[in-house]
Structure 1
Amino acid sequence: MSSIIQLFWEPLQETFFQKALIGGSFVAVVCGVTGCLVILRRMSFLGDALSHAMIAGVAGGYLFMKLLFGIEAYAPAMLIGSLIAALMTVALIGFVSRMSRIKEDTAIGIMYTGIFAGGVVLVSVFRNYIHIDLMHFIMGDVLGVADIDLWTSAITSALVLSVIILFFRYFQVTSFDPVMAASIGMPVVLIDYVFTTCVSLVVVSAVSMVGVILVVGLLVTPAATAYLLSDRLDRMMIYAAFFGVTSVVGGLYLCVWLDSAGGGAIMLFCTFQFLVVLLAAPRYGLMARWLQLRRMVPQQLAEDVLGFLIRKDSSDIAEIKADIKNPGRIQHAVKNLASQGLLSVKGRIVSLTEEGRKDAARILRAHRLWEAYLDHVGTPEWEIHPKAHELEHVSDAEAIGYLDDLLGHPVKDPHGQEIPEDNTCAMPGAVVSLSFLRSGREGQVEKVNVPADKTGLKPGDRLRMEQRRNNGAVWVAVKEDKTEIEMDHDTADNIFIKCF
């Protein structure tokens, strides 16, 4: 036990480890909090762009101080140069995406690679004056943190976190709904520029300590991990800061124990945390999704059970299993439908409830309308039923309404069986087209969109529907005074009746 404690205690006694822990934690907290807004705004690629592009600013600041004052590696000048390069990158990206047909993601790719390449060329051309280790810039050296890096990171973190706390509501609204934010008078463009400046400050202050790869990783991965655990932005930011700090702590111990690169170890631990949460998150994790899918009943299977029962009224579960494919999940489907109030189960006998009968009638109506349509387009008789059985699951109201109207609102399918009536027509008070009404239905005329002399009907007339004539092509309505009115499909479609 003491050896395990010693394993954790010994690194903490080293000054380089303490500095790396403090500096890395500063970076992790501000990156985690800022990263939540970055991923909500889908700006992850922008963080990568800024971190790469700032090499031009570092080289420019270094060269400026070297040539004018003879000073090498002057941190404030390189910091200011990096910030200028980052803001220039953002400005050029915005200019290109707004003033041309090039989309923002493409503009980011063009500008950051161009500015990054410019920085590399600058370092190469003036290599006698600029002494920058590009590998150190890319990978960072978290174990070699200098005091000036700690102060820079602490001040920048405090500044950025203060801005985010003070303007949290504005950042939140513009991240989730910029259109609504603009409509209530928020200066969306200004807020975007303020936030982008914050991201630039975070990247610039952190790259010198942890390198390009790690700063992008800490901006995105802890925030993405937190996103799997929370739907609230404030709580998500707390989780992201926590995962960022644990990534730094775990990664630093890992790099000491394995004698590996600090930045790589931190990012490896950070990614490991993300994968664990991705697997085990209670709502959005892979395990939760798998369990949810296991509990779910496929819609097609549920509809097959309802469709079977409306033809049988009630049935034994064994009979349902024998008729429907996928018998292994029938028991689960029946249980699920019963919990929704669509089925009544007594022992092994299953029957439809009143609500279940309505749902089943909708499926049967879709099936028989598809049979009528398949017969209409000339499908061979032996193929009509199996094809309609597949198509009946396309039963949304709009599709079935279109099919019904296309076929002239048929009453029977090709086998002579009655097609169930549209449920909306059976509701008292519903206003529907007269063409939907079946024999025996009564109602009052609400609106007539055909010339009065064509039918003699006017709003307020009471009607009762009779059997259609001429193979269903002629609608017959009888007024209170026993006057009989015949009309075709188009005319019936343009008369609207309030059902009794």
Structure 2
Amino acid sequence: MIHELFLAPLAETYFQKALIGGSIVAVVAGVVGCLVILRRMAFLGDALSHAMIAGVAGGYLVMKMLFGLEAHAPGMLFGSLLAAITTVALISFVSRISRVKEDTAIGIMYTGVFALGVVAVSIFRHYIHIDLMHFIMGDVLGVADSDLWVSAVAGAVVLSVLILFFRHFQLATFDPVMAASIGLPVLLLDYLFTTCVSLVVVSAVSMVGVILVVGLLITPAATAYLLSDRLDRMMMLAALFGVTSVVGGLYLCVWLDSAGGGAIMLFCTLQFLVVLVLAPKYGLIARWLRLRSLIPQQVVEDILTTILRYGKPTPLAIIRTYVESTRGLQKALLRMERDGLLLRSAEGYRLSEAGEKEAGKVLRAHRLWETYLEAIGTPAEEVHATAHHLEHLGGEAVDYLDEKLGNPEVSPHGKTIS
């Protein structure tokens, strides 16, 4: 059973080539994809892969008409790379000299260049014999030796550039202003990076198709992003997730007798969803546990001011009476006691020194809001209740209010504002 499921496919040449080629693409695409998603350029990979059809058509046509060569791989590769770089240059030009934002420019340019490719293929259909469905979907199970060499050379070039300029790309990605201020050529780095993305896309599309190359560029990197806060570790995880997607997808393809590219992308997406749920820091379960343990700040502040106004150890019954929301009250009291805001005794709860300081801030905010509400003509019977809701807007809002009111010393009820 194990032999038939796992070992038998490995003995097949087509499976071995698909595994090697797909893994090369997955590693390079995963590493580059980390910078793509951190720079919020996910749409760019899709744009380049679609725009490539114009380059493929142009390269095919030139080699056919000038040299009589049918489906000449180097010519089509060069045409694809030229189309990708031209698309990037047009996107950059339009976004820099007009009001149109970069994402809009990407949408305009890549659809335009893609349409140019489709029109060229249809006009010169007697000379160009390109299967558009194969171009979009790919055929990872029909990898040729030339495809392996192209992807290996392109991958080596791209990884070499990323290793040599890793620190430069890292700084330009996270803080381009600082990178420019210390003399790094940020614009040149951007063009170098987009050229690397173009090379990855161009070298992989003929083997895995448009859909899969975009998926391998984005999904493994996004999966790694959920598990790491460091770029170098994120890149290694992205490469690993890319390879596991290829391996798992190819086995899935053989077991289900389905399309190779679709199976790889399905496995890749399922892998992302599993990590999305289970990631220890950024997963859905971790997020739910954090939300469950959160205590509303309003409850904390109501407890503090209730004990401060009571002026002596306060029983739980009194706190429960004056705290507006009693949901999670016991948990809030335990957390505040653990954080050093409250001290518990047989008579009840009292404030620590830190607790008195925090309670004083809330009380000051309450009295300032009362003063402001009276100044704008709020009915006297509504002043206290309204201020009770507004007092939780602390920080800069309270400091601004104090300055606007001229630093009052007494509230409308004769209480000192300290």
TM-score interval, smaller chain: over 0.9
Match of 1:142 in 2: 140
Which residue does 2:380 correspond to in 1?
381
Question: 1: CA distance between counterparts of 2:403 and 2:64?
Answer: 82
Match of 1:263 among 258, 261, 275: 261
Gap change, CA 1:167 and 1:405, over 3 Å in 2: closer
Distance 1:404 1:57 in 2: 65
Q: Percentage identity across aligned positions?
A: 69
Q: Hey, what does 2:392 align to over in structure 1? A: 393
**How big is each residue's C-alpha offset from its partner over 1:23-69, in whole Å with a ceiling of 9 and x where there is no partner?**
00000000000111111111111111110001001011111111122
The DSSP-based 3-state class of the residue aligned with 1:412 is coil
Contact 2:139 2:207 in 1 (8 A): yes
Aligned positions of 1:87-486 closer than 5 A: 87-313=85-311, 314-346=313-345, 349-396=348-395, 398-416=396-414, 418-421=415-418
SS in 2 for 1:351: strand
3-state DSSP class of the match of 2:349?
Answer: strand
| Cα pair 1:361 1:420 within 8 Å, conserved | no
Paired letter, 2:272 = F
TM-score, normalising length: structure 1: 0.81
Q: CA deviation at 1:348?
A: 7.1
- Are the aligned partners of 2:227 and 2:282 in contact in 1 as well (CA < 8 Å)? yes
Task: Output the CA distance in 2 between the equivalents of 1:14 and 1:215.
Answer: 24
Query: Do the aligned partners of residues 126 and 414 (structure 1) sit closer, same or farther apart at CA in structure 2, a change above 3 Å counting?
Result: same
Q: 1:267, CA displacement in angstroms?
A: 0.8
Q: Which moved more, 1:72-81 or 1:39-48?
A: 39-48
SS of the equivalent of 1:344 reads strand
1:417-476 C-alpha deviation (Å, 9 max, x unpaired):
x1331xxxxxxxxxxxxxxxxxxxxxxxxxxxxxxxxxxxxxxxxxxxxxxxxxxxxxxx
Deviations 1:211-246 (A, max 9, x none): 111101111111111111111111110000000000
TM-score, scaled to structure 2? 0.96
Q: 1:81 aligns with which of 79, 82, 89?
A: 79
When residues 411 and 100 of structure 1 are mapped into structure 2, their CA distance, relative to the original with a 3 A threshold, is: closer
Q: Secondary structure at the match of 1:59?
A: helix
- Structure whose alpha-carbon radius of gyration is higher: 1
Tell me how far 1:347 sits from its aligned partner: 5.1
Question: Matches of 2:346 and 2:43 in 1, distance apart?
Answer: 59
Following TM superposition, the consecutive aligned residue runs of length 4 or more in structure 1 with deviations greater than 6 angstroms are none
Q: Deviations over 1:150-169 (max 9, x none)?
A: 11111111111111111111
Give the residue type in structure 1 aligned to 2:417.
P
Instruction: Give the match for residue 24 of structure 1.
Output: 22
- Deviation of 1:206 after TM superposition, in Å, equals 0.2
Aligned length: 417
User: How big is the shift at 1:414?
Assistant: 2.7
- Equivalent position amino acid for 2:338 in 1: S
Instruction: Answer whether contact 2:411 2:417 (CA < 8 A) is retained.
Output: no
**2:350 match: secondary structure:** strand
Higher helix share: 2
Q: Deviations over 1:119-143 (max 9, x none)?
A: 0000111111111111111111111
SS, match of residue 327 in structure 1: coil
CA, structure 1 residues 348+22, in 2 after alignment: closer, same or farther (shift >3 Å)?
Answer: farther
Q: Deviations over 1:66-123 (max 9, x none)?
A: 1122221111110011001011111111111122222211111111110000000001
Sort the Cα spacing of 1:189 and 1:56 in 2 relative to 1 into closer, same or farther, 3 A: same
What is the RMSD of the two structures over their aligned residues, measured on CA atoms? 1.4
Structure 1: how far apart are the matches of 2:120 and 2:81?
17
- Unaligned stretches of 5+ in structure 2? none
Q: Distance in 2 between matches of 1:54 and 1:268?
A: 24
5+ residue gaps, structure 1, are 422-500
d(CA) in 2 for partners of 1:300, 1:312? 18
Tell me how far apart the structure 2 counterparts of residues 258 and 132 of structure 1 sit (CA, whole Å): 28
Change (3 A) 1:43 1:302: same
Deviating more after overlay: 204-213 vs 308-317: 308-317
Judging changes above 3 Å, is the alpha-carbon distance between structure 1 residues 338 and 405 closer, same or farther for their aligned structure 2 residues?
same
Q: Relative contact order, CA 8 A, sep 6+: which one is greater?
A: 2
Q: Is the 8 A contact 1:303 1:360 kept in 2?
A: yes
- Match of residue 72, structure 1, among 70, 78, 82: 70
Q: Secondary structure at the match of 1:413?
A: coil
CA shift, 1:408, in A, is: 4.1
Higher strand share: 1
Instruction: Assess, with a 3 A threshold, how the Cα gap between structure 1 residues 182 and 341 changes in structure 2: closer, same or farther.
Output: same
Residue 365 of structure 1: how far off its partner (Å): 1.4
